[in-house]
Amino acid sequence: MSSVLNRASSNFLWRHPWQLALAIVGIALGVAVVISIDLSMESSLNAFDQAGKAFSGVATHRIIAGDGGLDEKLYRRLRVDDGIQKLSPVVSAYVFLSKQADAGFNLVGIDPFIEKSFQSIWQTRQNKNTSADLLTRLITEPNTALISEQTASRLGLNIEDDLTIDTDHGERQLKIIGLLSPNNAVSEQVLSRLIITDIATAQEVLEMFGRLSSIEVLIDKNQPDAATTSADTPSLVIAKPVPDRLLADTPSLEIAAPVPDRSAAYTPSLEIIRKALPGNALLVEAESQSQAMREMTRAFSINLKALGLLSLLVGMFLIYNTMTFLVMQRRGLIGSLRSIGVTRRQIFKLIIGEALLLATIGTLIGIVLGLALGQGLLYLISGTINAIYFRIDAASLMITPLQLGKGALLGITATVLAVLPPAFEATRISPVTVLVRSQLESGIRRLIKAANLISGIFILGGMALALLSGKSIALGLASIFLLLFGFAMMTPALTLMFMKLIEHVFGRLSGILVRLPARMVSAEISRTGVAIAALMIAVSATIGMDLMISSFRQTVADWVQTSLRADLYVSLPGEKMPGTRAEEDQRLKAKLAELQGVKMLSSVLHTNTAIARDGVYAEAGAAAENDFTKVAVFELNEKSRQGFIFKHKTDNTLWDRFEQQQTVIVTEPYAYHHGVKIGDKIRLQTDQGNEPFEVLGIYADYSGDQGHLAMSRRNYRHYWPDLGYSGIGVYAKDGVDLQHLENQINKLLTGQQSVQSDQAIYKASMAMFEQTFTITETLRWLSAAIAFVGVFSALMALQFERTRQLGILRAIGVTSGQLAVLITGETALMGLVAGLIAIPVGYIVAYMLIFVIYQRSFGWTMAFHFHSGVIYQGLALAVIAAMLAGILPALKMSQTKPAEALRSE
Amino acid sequence: MSTEAAITIQQLSKGYQESGQRHEIFKDLNLQVSLGEFIVLLGRSGSGKSTFLNLVSGIDQPDSGEIVINGIQLTGLSEHDRTLFRRHHIGFVFQAYNLISTLTVGENLLLPLELIKRTSRQERNNVAKLLDQLDLADRFDTYPDRLSGGEQQRVAIARALIHDPDVILADEPTGNLDLDTGQQVLELFDTLVTKAGKTLIMVTHSPEVLGKADRVFSIRNKSLVIAREGVYAAGL
């Protein structure tokens, strides 16, 4: 294309730098939000994956257990009796540094002199001082540990310094005897939250005597038990030192090459292992755990990404709006170009080329912004995952070219899609006559009629999709997008109606200047309509989110209040172990019962139980093979039973059957995710084989989105060993001073054990609820900020475009103050109409979020709690955002000299 | 025509900066216009005719010099006061009509009245009457871009006159019109302006107009030069 032709177009852009800048800002913000969410979510999950793989990189399988861990005799039996050599025992738990605000560490106890073929990586590059010395000391000296150089530097520690950690059982001292030096970013992140000790030290420090957390297993599919020395994941197994490496000082971490194919079939070794496993243990593929974690957070991830896409949708409106402005403003220019022989194709290419350039610049800025924003979101996302799913430690973003590429593609595609309609519009401009505004606007009005029809189709389509899409979260979100898009397309028509009404009502009572703002909105509906639609989408999303969160908050508050029946709750955290530790719990419970002010007790044990492999549900089909399910083991009294909110009618026999028969009750999310109905039988793997448990009831529970089973302690103890308690509810006698009782109980507690009143627990629960929604709130505001930029951009462009018109008003005697009021009045009207449309649309969004998305994502049902404040807030947000966006254009135009304004094109 | 001075311009200078260089449009320009006088301004394109009208109306400000209209020193007023002055005392007919596209014909005429708080039923009737006079009676509720060029110019003239200003400034009011329409517009000026004793400064190249003007000036060498005067002008 001719460079002069390009200049004719680009010169226009340079002469309107504000519009150019705002278009780029719009694209950049949309891309930044999507990229930041993607990066921070992936980084959080990757951190989990990497940490998990840090000491099992070459393992193909893993033996894991429910609470209580594995008896270390199992390891000996498999290795010695069954001859399976490639096994690596692991003891691990989260610990905290004493008196430091630093985040938690994963304390991992390993066998440093493990079978050589199992060793991966970590030490293959050990340099001169690594060492048998070091590793020998790790084994022979009690309470010795290795940490990374970065951790040591962060904590101001050196070799031979002591490190004091807080475990579930109190403070413990470890001596740092060596520093690990990571050799890439991933290993640095993995090591940054790791304390490595020998197995015996870990067992002692964590009081897991004779127990293991897991056993890593390496099985080669083709050659069972053959040595394999490479891995595709980072690994942290310390090698048995060899003589020529005796001088190495620090072990290092590196990533090894991938293994060609190691998908494990059931080799004889695996069968041997399976047969040897106790009832609370499972043999799982190493990869399946991280897949399970990803699956667990899938709903959360989809919801976040949907919010990001909502931002991009608003951003697309903004881009469409800006590009439409840029095309329409150049109708004269395009008409002139066409009249001298520039073809439609050339005009189309000109506009698309321009959009591609803007998209590239905007996307690049968006990527940089996204990286910065992602770092901030990482903290929030990790916090939420920690609160509701599992423990992760994501310190920094893990940036991959794929994610950046996805963001770039999204930004450029969205921009080009958004610019297609105005580009086609530009090609339709007649070379002879440049349409006058009234013809243009009447053309737009015809388009609005078509848009109304399409919006009707979108809305009906959205509703149909919501009804017919089963349990699909993605289709549920798509239905919300269709509805939002439908209402957005209807916005210009509704705006025209609203402005006509305003004129009708106020026009008779007041003068032309009062009528003019409404007239300006209607007269330039091609510009104002899109800006109002963008604002409406953002505000309706805000109202919808607000209503959903407040409904959820109220539901959870009601649930927590109902559930908390005891006066005081004793929390007994930490790894649940049979034997001594369980007996300690029993003794504590007995002491509590003996306290003078205590009327009665209830208890709960939170544990995991393996679901049987051979068909889980009588009617609902099989659950995932090799899976644990959370189980709450209750010892209930009359009062605590009232704390259960069943989702169906119950009869008087329920609690009797719960106590006396082989039954369970399940939480609502569990029933939803597993398709469980009352009367179904769930088969659980017990030490005595697979046993069916009949589902008696389904009850509300908002403590997690995966759900769990609940059974009576009597039932549990019939099949599983005593693991003690996770919590004990204390019911005080009438008139007892609760504070005094709390003090008495406190004296009986040790280590991490604590006692809290029901109100303190209520407050803590609600605080956790708020923390969970921090990320949602943040993204919601980001989306609103993008809409604000959109409206600001549209208004700036609009005012620039009508500079001459405003100059005429000034020439005939309208003062700069009146002009500012006129422009602000127009923007306020735009905000008002956006807010008014956003209220019903926001309600629909809230309804969809509560009854479609959240139910499908988390299995929770909640009551729709209306609160009128949301309406006023939404309306105020729309009007204030629009008015704020209008202030600068109003000031700028009112300060423009009338002579200059009259000279403008 | 009264001998009382309606407009006094003294030592008026105006210039602009372009590419770092200053370009003078006027330098030390002087003019005195009597009440009810009809002045025509000639000049090449870009000579500063429109700038002159902008300065006289207070839309633009001179770099130096004084403009006094009806005893009010325009150059001493703030931007806000000049706007208020303009809305009461000046009627401006733009070459490109400059009607407010978002207002109907009737509203375009009512707006100047509303700005000076003349919103009585009588004023509305006056608007209707004026539109009738201009053969635009059926166009009260029509938007400007539905009108022909001649119709738009007649509305622009009506808007400049509706609030009964002392001074009317017209920038090539017939420049975009065909001969017949231009003639109509000139007759309109003759009827509504000169016969009503209004002071009129018009930028035009129309020979018909030159004949009706009291004085004809040309902008040359950054100053006003009298081209024809009085009877001589009338004889053209």
Question: Cα A325 vs. chain centroid, distance in angstroms?
Answer: 36
Q: Do B107 and A815 touch (CB under 8 A)?
A: no
Distance from the Cα of A836 to chain B's closest Cα (Å) equals 24
Separation CA A886–CA A520 (nearest Å): 14
- Six token digits for residue B133: 């006079």
**Of A57-66, A97-106, B138-147, which one has max mean pLDDT?**
B138-147
- The candidate with the shortest Cα–Cα distance to A113, out of A215, A203, A241, A229, is A241
Angle made by CA atoms B23, B28, B33, in degrees to the nearest 5: 120
**pLDDT tens profile A357-399:** 888 998 899 899 888 888 888 877 777 776 666 666 656 777 7
**pLDDT tens profile A574-585:** 777 777 778 888
- Comparing B129 with A129, which gets the higher pLDDT? B129
Amino acid (1-letter code) at residue A504: H
* CB-CB neighbors (< 8 A) of B49 in chain A: none
Query: Which pLDDT score is estimated for A237?
Result: 34
Distance from the Cα of A509 to chain B's closest Cα (Å) equals 12
**pLDDT tens profile A9-24:** 677 677 777 777 877 8
Nearest by CB to A519, which of B103, B110, B119? B103
- The candidate with the shortest Cα–Cα distance to B97, out of B129, B61, B144, is B144
Query: Which pLDDT score is estimated for A290?
Result: 61
> pLDDT band for position A665 (50/70/90)?
very high
Separation CA A774–CA A387 (nearest Å): 12
Separation CA A274–CA A665 (nearest Å): 29
**Of A407-411, B65-69, B146-150, which one has max mean pLDDT?**
B65-69
Nearest CA in chain A to B165: A812
Query: Which pLDDT score is estimated for A21?
Result: 82
Average of per-residue pLDDT across A753-769: 87
Query: Which pLDDT score is estimated for A261?
Result: 40
Query: Which pLDDT score is estimated for A812?
Result: 84
Q: Is the pLDDT of residue A149 over 70?
A: yes
* CB-CB neighbors (< 8 A) of B146 in chain A: 438
- The candidate with the shortest Cα–Cα distance to A829, out of A497, A487, A442, is A497
Distance from the Cα of A823 to chain B's closest Cα (Å) equals 14
Which helix or strand (DSSP H or E) is residue B199 part of?
Answer: strand B199-203
- DSSP bridge partners of B71: none
- A1 touches B: beta carbon within 8 Å: no
Evaluate whether ipTM surpasses 0.90: no
- Comparing A27 with A783, which gets the higher pLDDT? A27
Q: What percent of chain A has pLDDT over 90?
A: 15
CB A128, CB A247: distance < 8 Å: yes
Q: Is the pLDDT of residue B64 over 90?
A: yes
CB A377, CB A37: distance < 8 Å: yes
Q: What percent of chain A has pLDDT over 70?
A: 79
Separation CA A35–CA A364 (nearest Å): 11
CA distances for A469 relative to A297, A455, A461, A716, A864, angstroms: 21, 20, 11, 39, 22
- Comparing A768 with A51, which gets the higher pLDDT? A768
What is the phi-psi region of residue A279: left when phi exceeds 0, alpha when psi lies from -120 to 50, beta otherwise?
Answer: alpha
Pairing relationship of beta strands B199-203 and B167-171 according to DSSP bridges: parallel
Q: Is the pLDDT of residue A207 over 70?
A: yes
* CB-CB neighbors (< 8 A) of A898 in chain B: 59-60
Q: Is the pLDDT of residue A117 over 60?
A: no
Report the residue of B83, B84, B93, B103 to disrupt the A interface, i.e. the one with the largest count of A CBs within 10 Å: B83
Q: Strand (E) positions, A124-201?
A: 144-148, 162-167, 170-182, 194-198
Distance from the Cα of A439 to chain B's closest Cα (Å) equals 9
Query: Which pLDDT score is estimated for A604?
Result: 93
Nearest by CB to B54, which of A809, A816, A899? A899
Average of per-residue pLDDT across B9-32: 87
**Of A110-119, A129-138, A157-166, B53-62, which one has max mean pLDDT?**
B53-62
Amino acid (1-letter code) at residue A108: V
The residue to which tokens 């010395």 are assigned? A133
Amino acid (1-letter code) at residue A817: G
Q: Is the pLDDT of residue B184 over 80?
A: no
Query: Which pLDDT score is estimated for A259?
Result: 36
In angstroms and rounded to an integer, the radius of gyration of the C-alpha atoms of chain A is 33
**pLDDT tens profile A717-732:** 888 888 889 999 999 9
Q: Do A814 and B83 touch (CB under 8 A)?
A: yes
Q: Do B159 and A897 touch (CB under 8 A)?
A: no
A8-32 residues labelled b (16+ CB within 10 A) or e (exposed): bbbebbeebebbbebbbbbbbbbbb
- Comparing A760 with A394, which gets the higher pLDDT? A760
Q: Is the pLDDT of residue A449 over 60?
A: yes
**pLDDT tens profile A844-894:** 988 998 888 888 887 888 888 887 888 888 888 888 888 887 888 788 777
Specify the 3-state DSSP secondary structure of A728: strand
Query: Which pLDDT score is estimated for A711?
Result: 94
CB A831, CB A882: distance < 8 Å: yes
- The candidate with the shortest Cα–Cα distance to A761, out of A803, A706, A703, A819, is A703
For A83, what's the count of Cα atoms within 13 Å in the CB-facing half-sphere? 5
Please identify among residues 807-826 of chain A the ones whose CB lies closer than 8 Å to any CB of chain B: 808-817
* CB-CB neighbors (< 8 A) of A811 in chain B: 57, 59, 86, 92, 94, 98
Which helix or strand (DSSP H or E) is residue A46 part of?
Answer: helix A17-53
- Six token digits for residue A676: 């469980």
Q: Do B101 and A805 touch (CB under 8 A)?
A: yes
Query: Which pLDDT score is estimated for A186?
Result: 59
> pLDDT band for position A339 (50/70/90)?
low
> pLDDT band for position A619 (50/70/90)?
very low
CA distances for A667 relative to A629, A783, A858, angstroms: 12, 34, 11
Tell me, yes or no, if the pTM score tops 0.90.
no
CB A302, CB A236: distance < 8 Å: no
> pLDDT band for position A533 (50/70/90)?
confident
**Residues of chain B contacting A, Cβ within 8 Å:** 51, 54, 57, 59-60, 79-80, 83-84, 86-88, 92, 94, 98-103, 107, 110-112, 114-116, 119, 143, 145-146, 159
- Comparing B168 with A685, which gets the higher pLDDT? B168
- Comparing A124 with A176, which gets the higher pLDDT? A176
Average of per-residue pLDDT across A15-44: 78
Question: Cα A367 vs. chain centroid, distance in angstroms?
Answer: 20
> pLDDT band for position A101 (50/70/90)?
low
Q: Do B80 and A513 touch (CB under 8 A)?
A: no
Q: What is the 3-state secondary structure (H, E, C) of A517-582?
A: HHHHHHHCHHHHHHHHHHHHHHHHHHHHHHHHHHHHHHHHHHHHHHHCCCCEEEECCCCCCCCHHH
Average of per-residue pLDDT across A102-125: 62
Separation CA A266–CA A288 (nearest Å): 15
- Comparing A467 with A274, which gets the higher pLDDT? A467
Separation CA A5–CA A9 (nearest Å): 7
> pLDDT band for position B211 (50/70/90)?
confident
- Comparing A841 with A310, which gets the higher pLDDT? A841
Please identify among residues 861-900 of chain A the ones whose CB lies closer than 8 Å to any CB of chain B: 897-899
Question: Out of A329-338, B76-85, B132-141, which region has the weakest mean confidence (pLDDT)?
Answer: A329-338
Query: Which pLDDT score is estimated for B175?
Result: 76
Q: What single string gives the DSSP state of each residue in A50-113?
A: HHHHTTTTT-SEEEEESTT-EEHHHHHIIIIIS----EEEEEEEEEEETT--PPPEEEEEE-TT
**pLDDT tens profile A471-509:** 888 898 889 889 998 999 999 999 999 998 988 887 766
**pLDDT tens profile A678-716:** 999 998 888 777 889 999 999 998 877 778 899 999 999
Query: Which pLDDT score is estimated for B233?
Result: 44
Query: Which pLDDT score is estimated for A254?
Result: 35
Query: Which pLDDT score is estimated for A287?
Result: 66
Q: What percent of chain B has pLDDT over 90?
A: 24
CB A111, CB A305: distance < 8 Å: no
Query: Which pLDDT score is estimated for A491?
Result: 93
CA distances for A44 relative to A389, A395, A398, A767, angstroms: 12, 9, 9, 22
Query: Which pLDDT score is estimated for A236?
Result: 36
A–B CB contacts, 8 A cutoff, strictly below: 82
Query: Which pLDDT score is estimated for A246?
Result: 29
Nearest CA in chain B to A439: B145
Query: Which pLDDT score is estimated for A388?
Result: 62
Q: Do A808 and B102 touch (CB under 8 A)?
A: no
Q: Is the pLDDT of residue A589 over 80?
A: yes
Nearest by CB to A812, which of B51, B101, B111? B111
CB B25, CB B222: distance < 8 Å: yes
Q: Is the pLDDT of residue A130 over 60?
A: no
Pairing relationship of beta strands B21-34 and B5-18 according to DSSP bridges: antiparallel
Question: Out of A252-261, A275-284, A336-345, A597-606, which region has the weakest mean confidence (pLDDT)?
Answer: A252-261
Q: Is the pLDDT of residue A61 over 80?
A: no
**Of A129-138, A849-858, A876-885, B68-77, which one has max mean pLDDT?**
B68-77
Give helix A344-388 / helix A3-15 axis angle, nearest 10°: 50
